[in-house]
Amino acid sequence: MSPSGIRRGGPPLTEAEAEDLLRCICFKTGPPRTVGVELEWLVHELRDPRLPVRPPRLAAALDTVRALPLVSALTFEPGGQLELSSRPAGSLMECLDSLASDLAAVRAALGPLGLTLSGYGVDPWHAPRSRVLHEPRYDAMEIALGRTGPAGRAMMCESASVQVCLDAGLEEPGPLGYHRRWQLAHLLGAVLVAAFANSPVHGGRRTGWRSTRQALWAELDPRRTLAPPPDGEPRAEWAAHVLDTPVMCVRAEEGPWAVPEGLTFRQWLRTGLPRPADADDLRYHMTTLFPPVRPRGHLELRMMDAQPGPDGWMVPVAVTTAVFDDPEAAETAYRAVKPLAELAAPGPAPRNPLWLAAARDGLADPELHAAARAVFSAALDALPRIGASEGVRRAVAAFHERYVIPGGCPADDLQVVTP
C-alpha cells in the first residue's frame, strides 16, 4: 500500500483473468441470510431546512459526528451528505435496530449544533450545492460525469437514498435462485422507485418528476449508470458490462488522477496504457459503476429515494427484504412484476420506458400501481415470517394504506415553500 492509500505493484491483469475474477466475486451464491442497508441523509438547518448550512459549519458538525462510537460505517458524500452503512446482519430486525441506534446517536450530536438529518431524494431547496469533499476520487468523478451535463454534480452533492443489500441467492433455480433474484431486482426496482419516490422538488422548483433523483441517474454517463441485459446469464452479462464500460479514472500515487475519455477497461487491459492495470484497478473500477442493481458478491439495490421522517427509511428496507428473502413472497412478487418486462423493453434500466414512467409518474402509472399493490400485500404477509416487529409491520401497513392503495407516493406530500 502506497502512502496515498493506493495499492500498487500487483501483476498486470489479462483480459481472461479479469473475466474469471468478475465471475467469481460478483455473484457469491448460497442461502439468503444477511441484510445490509446504506442510508444517505441531507444535513439541514434544524430551525428552517430552507436556510443554507455554510461549509465551515457543516465541516465542523461532520467532525463531531466522526467522533461518535458507531456500529455502522460512517462516510460523507461530496456535498456533505451523511451516510451510515450497516454491518451485514443476520436478520431484518438486527439490521434495523442497529441502524436506528446509530441514527439516534447522530441526531443527538447534531441537534445541539442546530442541525438535523433530512430524508429527500434530492435537496428541495439548495441547488447547486458546492462540493465540500475535495479528494482525488471526487475530483475525477466531477470531471468524468460533467462531460454529459450538470446531472453529475447534482447526483454527487444534492441527492440521498436508501440502499438495500441482500445476498445474491442460491445457485439452483427457484424463487431464491440468484438468476431469478437478478431478474426480480430489475423489474421490482421500478416498482420501488415509484412507491418510494420522494424528490419532486429541486432547487425550489417542481421538476415534473416524482423522483428527480432517478431522473438525474438516467441523465448521467450513457454507460456507467446502466444495467446490463437482465435476461442473459448474470455472471457473463455483468462481466462484459464491467469490461466494456469506460474507465472513470486511473489512480496515481501523487498528483491528480487521470480522467481518460472513452477508454474502456477492456481496452486498458489490451493496451496497457496509460499503465498496466491490475486486479485492484478492476475492483476499484467496479466502484465507479452505478447501475440501479450492483452485484458485489451480494446485490445492492440502489434505486430508492431517501424517505421522510426519522423512521421512514425502515419501510423500504422491510418491504424489499420481505419480497426477496421469503420464498412465498418472492414468488408472488415475481409473478406481479413479470408483466412489466413488456413495458421495459427494449432498453436497460434506468433509461427504459418502465423506469422512466416510475420516476416521472410514481404509482399514478396504472401498471406500476397494480404491481405495487400485489408486492406490498405479499410483503405484509411475509413480514411476520421473517421476524419483523409489530412496529415495523404497522409502519409498512400505514404506508400501504396511505400511498400504495390510492396510488400515491411521498413525493405527493412535498410542497414548494421558498425562504
Report pLDDT digits (tens) over 331-356.
999 999 999 999 998 789 999 999 99
Residue by residue, DSSP assigns 167-216 as: E--BSSSSTTBHHHHHHHHHHHHHHHHHHT--B-EETTEE-S-SBHHHHH
What is the structure's pLDDT at 218? 93
pLDDT digits (tens, 9 = 90+) for 248-273: 999 999 989 999 999 999 999 999 99
CB 292 within 8 A of CB 303: yes
Whether residue 130 is predicted with pLDDT greater than 90 in this model: the reply is no
- Per the CB < 8 A criterion, the answer to whether 153 and 128 are in contact is yes
The three three-digit cell numbers of residue 282, written as one number: 478492476
Express each pLDDT in 294-312 by its tens digit: 999 999 999 999 999 999 9
Task: Give first-to-last CA distance, the chain, whole Å.
Answer: 49
Q: Give which of 94, 76, 223 is closest to 157, Cα–Cα.
A: 76
What's the predicted TM-score (pTM) here? 0.95
Mean pLDDT of 159-179: 96
DSSP letters, 282-305, are: HHHHHHT---SEEEEBEEEEEEEE
Cis status, amide bond into 346, omega within 30 of 0:
yes
DSSP 8-state code for residue 162? E
Share above pLDDT 70 across residues of the chain, in percent, rounded to a whole number:
97
* Torsion 379-383-388-390 (CA) sign: positive
In the block, residue with C-alpha cell 443554507: 52
What is the band of 369 on the pLDDT scale with cuts at 50, 70, 90?
A: very high
- Of the candidates 135, 217, 211, 185, which has an alpha carbon nearest to the alpha carbon of residue 294? 185
pLDDT confidence band for 212 (50 / 70 / 90): very high
**pLDDT digits 0-9 by tens, 33-64:** 999 999 999 999 999 999 999 988 998 999 99
